[in-house]
Structure 1
Amino acid sequence: MVEVTKGRTPGAGALFQLLRDGRPRTRADLAAETGQARSTIAGRIDALLASGLVTPAGEASSTGGRPPTTFAFDPAVRVVLGVDLGATHARLAVTDLASRVLATLDAPLAIADGPAAVLDWVVDAGLKLLGEAGRAHDDLVGVGVGLPGPVEHGTGHPNNPPIMPGWDDADVPGLLGARFGAPVLVDNDVNIMALGEHRAAWPEVADLLFVKVGTGIGAGIIADGLLMRGAQGAAGDLGHVALPGAEDVPCRCGNLGCLEAVASAQAVADRLRATGAATPRGADVVELVRAGDLAAAQAVRQAGRDLGAVLAACVSLLNPSTIVIGGVLAEAGEHLVAGIREVVYRRSLPLATQHLRIVTARTGADAAVLGASAMAIDHVLSPAAVEARLGA
């Protein structure tokens, strides 16, 4: 959020940022917080009331005379659509402007079918979901999308995604925006998972590392409360960090010894299948662990140790206070996290680990759609976007 600093004269869009926390305030409260004249505040509030973003919220206690009216943000006035596209699945959620989920949809969907087929499906499914949430098309003010590959966040275009044939440089915001009639924000799936987990489960944590262990391995970095994407949007690509001792293991990226080739859910499944286990997918590994299979549990714990070897370097470099482990392999109970802790706490300096928490994700399957929703909301409720809305 944008701070309103006393002594400045921000517009209604900046003033609105104070109200986004949901706490009712009087005109006098806002004047005191911003240093603006009561008449200026009154004009800003009138404009926000007319937009529907702010609503009267009752009366404050009186110190004599007529009790003053309070005003608060109304997150139910409009909705956004969060879209999580994976290699073989899609999850959509309609939320209000406080990221409260109103309706969800899960469906199998092959990202390899290409942008035309996949995005047509997203539009049809998204509009249907709006109706199921009891909202009209005109209520939709933003769309957030997560893709299973690198994304240039400034343009929203996929950037040479390895498992998305036909998607390179596809104009996802343009194609979806023309159909939805709303701004579309796009990022890679791990970044939006990090954003969703942070906002929903760890809002008080300023420095957090979210690690997804699925078909691939990636990380989302929250530093000083903000999502860090890097110069080309490639920050957090843990899966292709070289793992000591794995120099002879080929990776799908063309290199040898990548962490993903050894410790991803698919790598663990392949290794167990080579010993005769029925594990074509990472989810099958999880089922074996839950059923008490000792070999599967040991394989997952070793994957955790391998992850820990790379995460120990991340702890020294980034000094997060919380590492959150998500993705399909994190569903195998404490085995994965136990292996990570074993190595991170042994290899990292005590100063960096004395208050470090390493935990599994709290938001589960909702992390990505919550993050996509938050990304869209941050855009449509930014000072500039609110000012543009009021001007229109």
Structure 2
Amino acid sequence: MVQRSHVTYFGAGPAPLPTPVLEKAAEVLLNYKDKGIGLCEISHRSPEANDILARTKQALATLLDIPDDYDILFLQSGGSGEFSATVYNLVSIWVEKKRAKIAEEVGDNTDEVLKRLRQVVDEELKLDYLVTGSWSLKASQEASRLIGAKHVNIAADARKANHGKFGKIPSEDQWSLTPRAAGGPALVYFCDNETVDGVEFPSFPRSLEGDDAPLVCADMSSNFISRKVDVSKYAVIFGGAQKNIGNTGIAIVIIRKSLLPPHSTPASPDLLRHLNLSVGPIVLDYPTIAKNNSLYNTLPIFDVWVAGEVMSGLVDSFGAKRIGGQEEVSDEKARLIYEAIERCPDVYRVVPDKSVRSRMNICFRVNGGDADKEKAFLAGAEKKGLLGLKGHRSVGGIRASNYNAVSLNGVKLLVAYLDEFAKSA
């Protein structure tokens, strides 16, 4: 029988989880805190569930030094659901701000307010998307589906800078962000790490710095809790849990409280419908989720518990270093893999440009993408217990996902195999 200790899993998601967390999970699934029932069976309204929520929030806040003026939400939408949620919520806030400003100018003349607001929405509503890979492309397509392509500004398309393929991030002087002088976009959206294409932003974009920056929404699904993040630079951060944080089932949203009532008021559903804009489902409505402490509907508390255990483990492991400790480990593992690939340029080729190589998803080709050679590479890796290395179906090749639960020893085994295979290729 193959034991868990015999394999190292490099799959891109669902991803490996720390073995101690899984061992403890097996216990609490049967009997949680000697209650005689398992964790999946307790009420999401119970004191135990609220305690799990509080501890998980605190672990994440500690790891990332999240300021007090931010809230943490848990939703069941996954990262893809947040493609829609960010549009619904931030467009609604933008519309209401425009309506309030017009109302100040024209007074109680409702017809005139609506007439002018309709014109403003038609002419000025923009959502800026930095398309650097498959997931940001899907996010921009969802925005177009929800509010119309005329309102979606592709401020950067990495394919135009890389012969029609993803693998680079265009320099910021090539971006066409919506001018802030005109009120700015309802949001600027980017995917911090592109899981499919192995592209990661090396740092926060300079173009989005400053107090007057437009609302920034970042998909961090595959590099969440892997490096330091200045949360104060963002209005919204989200990520699916199934990469570095936990098992499939929840998305985590970090949101600036100024975007929630009573600080911000979303446009009413009637107003949005009058303007031919989408009204989002209540389970994706950030004010509703925040007001109900993520318990508006039945939250999968077990999934939150797993995430809390993973993050609490990092807090305990790295102490004062917090997420900086995990960043050091992640960087070291990525360095070892990339150096092994670069030692054998006649056999391996890293796909993305060196300036934007992901630390989390290391994408490369074998012998120029020779199908037989890549099948042989994968078969040989599997024999050595190195699993999950096949690239995404849309791009092929090899992908080693260097998530937090992948051990340094597991990476060293992969490095040894890379060297061994290169000698026989």
Q: Same fold per TM (> 0.5)?
A: no
Q: Greater strand percent: which structure?
A: 1
TM-score, normalised to structure 2's length? 0.28
